[in-house]
Amino acid sequence: MDEQALMELIKEGDEQAFAQLMGVYKDRIVNFLYQITGDYQLAVDLSQETFLRVYFKARKYRPIAPVSAWIFSIAANLARTEKKRMRNRSAVPLEEVTNAYTSGSYSTDHNDPALMRNVRAALKKLHPRYRIPVILKDVEGFSQEEIARMLKLPVGTVKARISRGREYIRKWLEEGQEIKNRQGGNENETKEADFEL
C-alpha cells in the first residue's frame, strides 16, 4: 500500500496502517536523530515522540509533499528544540574541547570502520544549520528541493549549507583540525543563530 493511502487510513485512526508506516520509517528516523544528537537513547526517545506526533497530527498532513518529508521535518524540529533545551542547561566552551585526531591519520578506504567513526565525529562537530541538511542529503538521500521544503528554506540556502557542511567535514578529516563553522568564530554572533535552520 502506498504511503498516501496509509496516511488516509491513519487519519481515520487505523492503528495497523500506523504500525506499517512506523515500520517503514522507524530505523531511518532513529538513525537520523542519532546523527543529529549523538545520543542513541535520546534519538530513540525523540523518534517515539516523532511518531506520536505523526499519529495525533495525521489530520493536519496534506499530500502536497511526500510523507517521508513530513515525518523527517517533525523529527528535525524535535531535535532542534531538544538541542536548544540542552544548550540552555549546560555549555562547554569550544576552547575546552581538544582535537584528538592528528593530521594524516585518516584512511581513504570507504569500508574502513575508523573512517566512518571519523566521519561521524566530524558530523557531530558540525553546527546544526549544516549538519541537518548534510544528513538529509547524504545519509537519507533527499533532494535539495525536498530538504528546502522540509526546513522551509530557499533551495539556494540549502545548497550553500550542504556545500559548506561538506567542506567543513572534508577539512576536518584531511587536516585533523577543529571545525570553524560559526560565522567567523565570533562567539557572540552565534548565540542567537546557533540553532536556526
> What's the CATH number of domain 96-197, 1.10.10.10, 3.40.50.720, 3.60.70.12, 3.40.640.10?
1.10.10.10
pLDDT confidence band for 194 (50 / 70 / 90): very low
For residue 189, the model assigns a pLDDT of: 33
Question: pTM of the entire structure?
Answer: 0.58
> Within the chain, which residue ranges are assigned CATH 1.10.1740.10?
1-91
Per-residue pLDDT band for 16 (boundaries 50, 70, 90) equals: very high
Which CATH class, in words, describes the domain spanning 1-91? mainly alpha
- pLDDT band of residue 32 (cuts 50, 70, 90) is very high
In the chain, residues under CATH classification 1.10.10.10 are: 96-197
What is the per-residue pLDDT across 85-106, written as a single tens digit (0 to 9) for each?
A: 876 654 444 333 333 333 344 4
Q: What's residue 80's pLDDT?
A: 87
Q: What is the pLDDT of residues 101-125, one digit of tens each?
A: 333 444 444 455 666 777 788 888 8
Q: How far is CA 156 from CA 142, 170, 194, in A?
A: 15, 21, 20
Which of 80-89, 91-100, 187-196 ranks highest by mean pLDDT? 80-89
